[in-house]
């Protein structure tokens, strides 16, 4: 059924989400004006990779940064290094952390590191959760924003308090910053100001930035040096990572300054959902370019409604839906370049139609 919705979404004149289709054009555009004579990176060395790593290290205010094929690899390695450092094989993170639900238990299977889950699945980790945490934790991982609950964020003062506590207790603090750039407008802070609260940071280049794949892990010289050894052990030290680096750099330059725009547009878009019968966004007002929408109707009943709206208006609002119990369903929304080109009148019309149709369900 998701297949049908996705197909209908793709057929619309104005698909609203993200930066557009994930197709080969993403790479072709990034390489179009690249000089073919430029040398590949070679096993983590060479100007091409080193310059990008320096640039991102500077942006994050860290001593050094290492480019990785994926965040999964980068974060497991970060946690392993901190565990080895402390001589404790235990870390703490949110129950819906990427490590807990999307990595086939890599951290446990490859490193035998135990995870302590903080906070309820539906809530953010608060200072209170950290204060109540067992003492024998090598590292606390915080994900900002917390993707699986709609991209929620704690207040900055809360972060500062958590960071100060961890520093005092000798607990390493790692930032899952897969969407770090996307939250700068809400906090009104630089990336470096946020990262300053953390010992190590991972950022991704294919979420808000819209590159092809790839991640950076940043921290002290000693930490990043050790991460390169593990990168080699994982088979992540590819002879050439430049297809990801070039495109990461290209879209980073193109979109970093647009995060404020995406954030404002996300708030506007969420407002339109919240005016619909039986629909509510999580969080009620987005704090980044993303949010979730919860519908008080089953996935089976919502999908044909959405498809009808898409076909009547040419506006694609949601690409896929997840069932959350029999009578509710939920979806994730990300704002990127596409939103700005959707005519606002037609977008409002689409939501009026959606609202009308949702009212007929009860």
Q: Which residues bind a copy of itself (CB under 8 A)?
A: 21-29, 31, 34-40, 42, 68-74, 76, 103-106, 109-111, 206, 212-213, 229-230, 232-244, 246
CB of 38 to a copy of itself, least distance (A): 5
For residues 57 and 42, give the distance between their C-alpha atoms in angstroms, rounded to a whole number: 20
Q: What tokens appear for 198 in the block?
A: 């953390």
With respect to a copy of itself, which residue has the nearer C-beta, 22 or 169? 22
Shortest spacing between CB 327 and a copy of itself, in angstroms? 30
Nearest residue (CB) to a copy of itself, 202 versus 310? 202
The residue among 318, 178, 189, 335 whose CA lies nearest residue 262 is: 335
Compute the radius of gyration of the chain from its Cα atoms.
21
- 30, 250 in Cβ contact below 8 A? yes
CA distance 146 to 100: 13
Q: Please give the distance of CA 15 from its chain centroid, rounded to a whole number.
A: 20
- The smaller minimum CB distance to a copy of itself, of residues 17 and 166, is found at 17
Cβ at position 297, least distance to a copy of itself in Å: 28
Phi/psi of residue 236, nearest 5 degrees: -100, -5
Alpha-carbon distance of 281 to 266, in angstroms, equals 11
**Nearest residue (CB) to a copy of itself, 37 versus 135:** 37
Residue 213 burial (CB < 10 Å; 0-12/13-18/19+)? middle
**To the nearest whole angstrom, how small is the minimum distance from the Cβ of residue 16 to a copy of itself?**
19
Least distance to a copy of itself, CB of residue 71, Å:
7
From CA 51, how far away is CA 41, in angstroms rounded?
11
Closest contact distance (angstroms) between CB of 148 and a copy of itself is 17
Nearer of residues 76 and 334 to a copy of itself, judged by Cβ:
76
Of residues 58 and 105, the one with the C-beta less far from a copy of itself:
105
Could you tell me if 158 and 189 are in contact, meaning their C-beta atoms sit under 8 angstroms apart? no
Question: What are the distances in angstroms from CA 116 to CA 119, 169, 219?
Answer: 10, 17, 23
Asked if 296 and 278 touch (Cβ cutoff 8 Å), the reply is yes
Nearer to a copy of itself, 17 or 241 (CB): 241
Token pair for residue 61?
């205010």
The minimum distance between CB 337 and a copy of itself, in angstroms, equals 16
């Amino acid at each position: 059924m998701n297949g049908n919705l996705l197909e209908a979404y793709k057929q619309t004149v104005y698909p609203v989400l993200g930066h557009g289709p994930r197709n080969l054009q993403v790479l072709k555009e990034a390489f179009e004006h690249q000089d073919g004579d430029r040398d590949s990176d070679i096993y983590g060395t060479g100007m091409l990779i080193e310059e990008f790593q320096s640039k991102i290290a500077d942006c994050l205010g860290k001593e050094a940064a290492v480019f990785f094929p994926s965040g999964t690899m980068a974060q497991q390695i970060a946690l392993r290094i901190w565990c080895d450092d402390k001589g404790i094989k235990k870390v703490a993170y949110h129950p819906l952390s990427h490590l807990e639900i999307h990595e086939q238990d890599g951290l446990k299977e490859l490193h035998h590191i135990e995870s302590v889950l903080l906070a309820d699945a539906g809530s953010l980790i608060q200072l209170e959760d950290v204060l109540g945490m067992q003492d024998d934790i090598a590292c606390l991982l915080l994900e900002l924003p917390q993707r699986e609950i709609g991209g929620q964020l704690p207040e900055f003062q809360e972060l500062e308090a958590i960071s100060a506590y961890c520093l005092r207790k000798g607990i390493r603090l790692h930032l899952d910053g897969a969407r770090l750039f996307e939250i700068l407008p809400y906090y009104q802070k630089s990336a470096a100001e946020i990262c300053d609260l953390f010992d190590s940071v991972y950022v991704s280049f294919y979420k808000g930035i819209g590159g092809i794949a790839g991640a950076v892990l940043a921290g002290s010289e000693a930490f990043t040096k050790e991460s390169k050894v593990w990168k080699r052990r994982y088979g992540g030290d590819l002879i050439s990572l430049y297809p990801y680096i070039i495109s990461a750099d290209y879209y980073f330059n193109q979109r970093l300054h647009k995060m404020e725009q995406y954030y404002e547009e996300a708030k506007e878009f969420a407002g339109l959902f919240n005016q619909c019968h039986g629909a509510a966004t999580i969080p009620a007002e987005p704090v980044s370019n993303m949010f979730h929408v919860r519908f008080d109707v089953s996935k089976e009943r919502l999908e044909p409604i959405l498809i009808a709206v898409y076909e009547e208006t040419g506006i694609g609002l949601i690409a896929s839906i997840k069932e959350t119990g029999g009578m509710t369903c939920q979806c994730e929304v990300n704002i990127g370049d596409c939103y700005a080109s959707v005519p606002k009148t037609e977008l409002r019309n689409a939501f009026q139609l959606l609202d009308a149709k949702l009212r007929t369900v009860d």
